[in-house]
Every structure is written in C-alpha cells, then in structure tokens.
C-alpha cells in the first residue's frame, strides 16, 4: 500500500474529512467512524508508519504523551470513569497505519474481552458535539 492509498494519511493531510480532536505537527487524533462507544478516538502519526515497532524514536514520547492526554480527556471531557487504550500490530489492524484506540469506559458499559460492539452517532451534530467536548478537555491539559 502506498501512502496515497492510506485513509489515515489522507485524514492527517486533510484530504478526507474526519472529526479531529487533536492536531500537532506529528500527530492527529480523530473520532473513529465506527466507535466502540461515542467519543472513541484514533491517534495516528502523520508519517505513514504501519506498526509500533516501526515508529521512529523521535515520535515515541509525543505519541504516548498524546495518548495520555486523550485518556484524561475521556474522563474530564466525556464524564467517563476511565478509558480503554489499545493498538493492534498487523493482526486485526483494519487500516495498516499505526493507530492507538482511546475509548471512553464506564463500569457496566458492556465491553467484555475483545468483543467490540459498535455504537453509531445519531448524526453529524452529535459527532461534532463529542469531538468538541474532547477538544475542550484537551485545551485544559
């Protein structure tokens, strides 16, 4: 796959629309189109990197720091009790571009093991509202 064929590269470049919640020169965080729970964010490096072992050393700390900020934003911005943070490398990686899932969690929310039910947003306005709440929480951190 060339980077021209990568949807996450296209989102990072602004060529494909996504509800972005975090942007730095090296990273982009945006709402998952098929969220496990509303507010589910994918964090990606702008540079096309397929797996965690391939992530350049200069991006390791910024990537993890952004993941920490997003996990905090789940609680402060969405009122979640915590978060589920995960990534796949090759196996079960639906888009071959490194991405960290940051999912808001609440006790009793029904997520068990690795079965990930999906919850749709009612409409674009609801999606934008969730993104706005996460962005607002990120601005405080």
Question: Per-residue b/e over 109-131, b at no fewer than 16 CB within 10 Å?
Answer: beeeeeebeeeebeeeeebebbb
Identify the pLDDT of residue 107.
93
19 compared with 1, residue with greater pLDDT: 19
Residues 92-131: pLDDT tens digits? Answer: 888 999 999 999 999 998 887 666 667 889 999 999 999 9
**Exactly one of 40, 97, 99, 101 is catalytic; which is it?**
99
Residues 41-76: pLDDT tens digits? Answer: 999 999 999 999 999 999 999 999 999 999 999 999
DSSP codes, 7-27: HHHHHHTTSS---EEEE-SSE
Q: Which domains does the chain have, with CATH numbers?
A: 3-140 (3.30.428.10)
Identify the pLDDT of residue 58.
98
Q: What is the pTM of this model?
A: 0.85
- Residue 76 burial by Cβ neighbours in a 10 Å radius (0-12, 13-18, 19+): middle
Mean pLDDT of the chain: 92
Residue 119 catalytic?
Answer: no
Identify the pLDDT of residue 129.
95
Q: Is the pLDDT of residue 2 over 60?
A: no
Identify the pLDDT of residue 141.
74
């Amino acid at each position: 796959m060339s980077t021209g064929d990568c949807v996450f590269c296209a989102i990072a470049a602004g060529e494909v629309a996504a509800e972005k919640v975090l942007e730095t020169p090296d990273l982009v965080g945006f709402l998952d189109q098929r969220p496990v729970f509303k507010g589910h964010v994918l964090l990606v490096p702008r540079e096309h990197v397929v797996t965690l072992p391939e992530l350049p050393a200069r991006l390791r700390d910024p990537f993890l720091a952004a993941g920490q900020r997003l996990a905090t934003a789940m609680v402060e911005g969405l009122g979640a009790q915590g978060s589920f943070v995960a990534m796949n490398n090759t196996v079960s990686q639906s888009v071959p571009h490194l991405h960290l899932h940051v999912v808001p969690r609440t006790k009793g929310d029904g997520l068990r093991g690795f079965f990930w039910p999906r919850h749709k947003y009612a409409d674009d306005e609801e999606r934008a509202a969730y993104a706005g709440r996460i962005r607002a929480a990120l601005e405080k951190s």
